[in-house]
Chains A and B, each alone.
Chain A
């Protein structure tokens, strides 16, 4: 039995009414709320353990270093990585992808090389490659989306070639909830000598991830989407690859020896962590991972999917509503109401206390592919309830009534809108 009432009690923001209003928080794909244990752990770090890491010759600095490195080992276990040396702390998944783009991409890619992306990528897995392609002459190609909101695997096999140096794809789409068959992509890419980077920001909060079983070369995620603090993210890289890559950012902590005109670099993982890291963030992330794994990622994923499945099913039965979701999706439901712009829809929902996202969701190529300017998106997590699904449905029905002339007109002449 999934005790959602008990879980809600763990989240201070949910048990208050922020701004004195009802809050039905359905924007978890953007960021999740934080349990008290995470908030307390961050406070406790500053109250009891705060010192800089890796250099202080005193007991407190040693304690801070141990706390930070323990968090790294925790992340390694979480991702089933072979060891902590392949775990680099970053600000977020975006910075993790940029690290690979700047370090590996700029040093390895040449004109004629290809980077194979997909049409469902978040801007964070597009723009870094645009920057790298412009500087290296590499070419970007993209695996298209099928009508059923899955990636076109046949097209992937056609696009993949000896010129492909990197396949970079999202594990779970932040708009559609599509769960991509990463293992299949990895096997095919490796057969042709290409590396694979996976953006796991929307995956790790909802399913156990084993980077060795998936066989990925790089895997990125953000702490704040899995009940952790903002400002801390993770790059997993296969240690032998990271070893061969030049540093990304330079500064303190990432060096071995420095002269005025040159330097040698630290061992992994420190080579990629310049400057004082987000120590309290790493500690908060460790506690967040303990928290979600204590409940069970399989169970959390099943709960979010159950709520999303119901929302998708019942939203589809409202005249004018269209849902953009594959047959088996994650805890995300994107939808539109015919004739009504997603922002107008979101404003009505907000007036009902239902917080959803409306817009392009940082996936403009995907929106273009779907022929849309924007969608509304409800995204569920472990603390959401069946009642909240009902609140969403009720609010969408209210919007459909308020905008009835627009909806009816759009249903009559579907070109409009």
Chain B
């Protein structure tokens, strides 16, 4: 398969046209916005956390096929995961598309399709935008702040 065909696989285009978990999440505990200044892609991540797990996750935003499909597939793989696991997945995915890591854990399944993006260095940041946003949303500082807030209420 040529590089373009691999990058723009059927599944990626399908997630672009029919993104999963797209929309609002009333009562979200975390809302994090990621913006790629150079191309204008924007992703807003909404998370509901319970007992250290991601109970629900949605996203909104606009962007290219790579960033939207990446966000869509990401949300599919995070529901029910612990915050620890989600953080580790984010690092793993970022390392994978930037070539720092050869393989992806089988749990991340079809995200392996983003292997092709490494051939287009200008597009790597499109694939990683939702994952960077996730890392920010799950930062320790946020977590402890949120615990405090919960204790107060």
Contact surface of A with B, Cβ cutoff 8 Å = 339-344, 347-348, 350-351, 358-360, 364, 367, 373-374, 402-403, 405-406, 409
Most A C-beta atoms less than 10 A away, residue of B41, B63, B64, B122: B64
C-beta contact mask, B51-83 vs A, less than 8 Å → 1, else 0?
000000000001111100000000000000000
With beta carbons under 8 angstroms apart, the residue of A348, A359, A403 that contacts B39 is: A359
Asked if B63 and A403 sit within 8 Å, CB to CB, the answer is no
Asked if B64 and A402 sit within 8 Å, CB to CB, the answer is no
Taking CB atoms, residues of chain B closer than 8 Å to A358 are 39
CB-CB nearest in chain A for B126: A343
Does B3 touch A at the CB level, under 8 Å? yes
Complex Cα gap A341–B63 (Å):
7
CB-CB nearest in chain B for A367: B40
Taking CB atoms, residues of chain B closer than 8 Å to A373 are 40, 62-63
Taking CB atoms, residues of chain B closer than 8 Å to A367 are 40
Closest 7 A-B residue pairs measured CB to CB?
A341-B64, A343-B64, A344-B65, A344-B64, A373-B40, A351-B4, A343-B39
Taking CB atoms, residues of chain A closer than 8 Å to B122 are 347, 350
Taking CB atoms, residues of chain B closer than 8 Å to A340 are 65
With beta carbons under 8 angstroms apart, the residue of A344, A348, A359, A409 that contacts B38 is: A359
Complex Cα gap A350–B3 (Å):
12
Number of A-B contacts (CB under 8 A): 51
CB-CB nearest in chain A for B68: A341
Contacts A341-B65, A343-B39 given; does A351 touch B17 at CB 8 Å: no
Taking CB atoms, residues of chain A closer than 8 Å to B115 are none
Complex Cα gap A323–B151 (Å):
56
Does B20 touch A at the CB level, under 8 Å? no
Nearest CB of B to A161, in Å? 34
Contacts A341-B63, A341-B64, A405-B13 given; does A347 touch B40 at CB 8 Å: no
Q: List 5 A-B contacts (CB under 8 A).
A: A343-B41, A347-B4, A358-B39, A359-B38, A403-B13
Complex Cα gap A359–B41 (Å):
10
Other 4 A-B pairs with CB < 8 A, given A344-B66, A350-B120, A351-B3: A348-B8, A360-B40, A374-B39, A409-B17
Nearest CB of B to A361, in Å? 10
Asked if A374 and B40 sit within 8 Å, CB to CB, the answer is yes
Asked if A405 and B123 sit within 8 Å, CB to CB, the answer is no
Asked if A402 and B65 sit within 8 Å, CB to CB, the answer is no
Contact surface of B with A, Cβ cutoff 8 Å = 3-5, 7-8, 13, 16-17, 38-41, 62-66, 120, 122-123, 126
Asked if B63 and A347 sit within 8 Å, CB to CB, the answer is no
Nearest CB of B to A340, in Å? 8
Asked if B13 and A406 sit within 8 Å, CB to CB, the answer is yes
Nearest CB of B to A299, in Å? 35
Asked if A403 and B8 sit within 8 Å, CB to CB, the answer is yes
CB-CB nearest in chain B for A351: B4
Asked if A402 and B4 sit within 8 Å, CB to CB, the answer is yes
Complex Cα gap A177–B104 (Å):
46
Asked if A347 and B120 sit within 8 Å, CB to CB, the answer is yes
Taking CB atoms, residues of chain A closer than 8 Å to B40 are 359-360, 364, 367, 373-374
Nearest CB of B to A346, in Å? 8
Complex Cα gap A200–B3 (Å):
40
Nearest CB of A to B130, in Å? 15
Taking CB atoms, residues of chain B closer than 8 Å to A350 are 120, 122
Nearest CB of A to B65, in Å? 5
Nearest CB of A to B38, in Å? 7
Taking CB atoms, residues of chain B closer than 8 Å to A347 are 4, 7, 120, 122-123
With beta carbons under 8 angstroms apart, the residue of B4, B63, B66 that contacts A348 is: B4
Taking CB atoms, residues of chain B closer than 8 Å to A342 are 64
Asked if A406 and B126 sit within 8 Å, CB to CB, the answer is no
Complex Cα gap A134–B141 (Å):
34
Complex Cα gap A339–B4 (Å):
17
CB-CB nearest in chain B for A364: B40
Taking CB atoms, residues of chain A closer than 8 Å to B65 are 340-341, 344, 406
Complex Cα gap A343–B5 (Å):
16
Nearest CB of B to A68, in Å? 35
Complex Cα gap A178–B149 (Å):
54
Nearest CB of A to B84, in Å? 33
Complex Cα gap A148–B33 (Å):
35
Nearest CB of B to A339, in Å? 8
Taking CB atoms, residues of chain A closer than 8 Å to B123 are 343, 347
Taking CB atoms, residues of chain B closer than 8 Å to A405 are 13, 17
Complex Cα gap A212–B23 (Å):
56
CB-CB nearest in chain A for B63: A341
CB-CB nearest in chain B for A374: B40
Asked if A406 and B39 sit within 8 Å, CB to CB, the answer is no
Most B C-beta atoms less than 10 A away, residue of A344, A367, A403, A405: A344
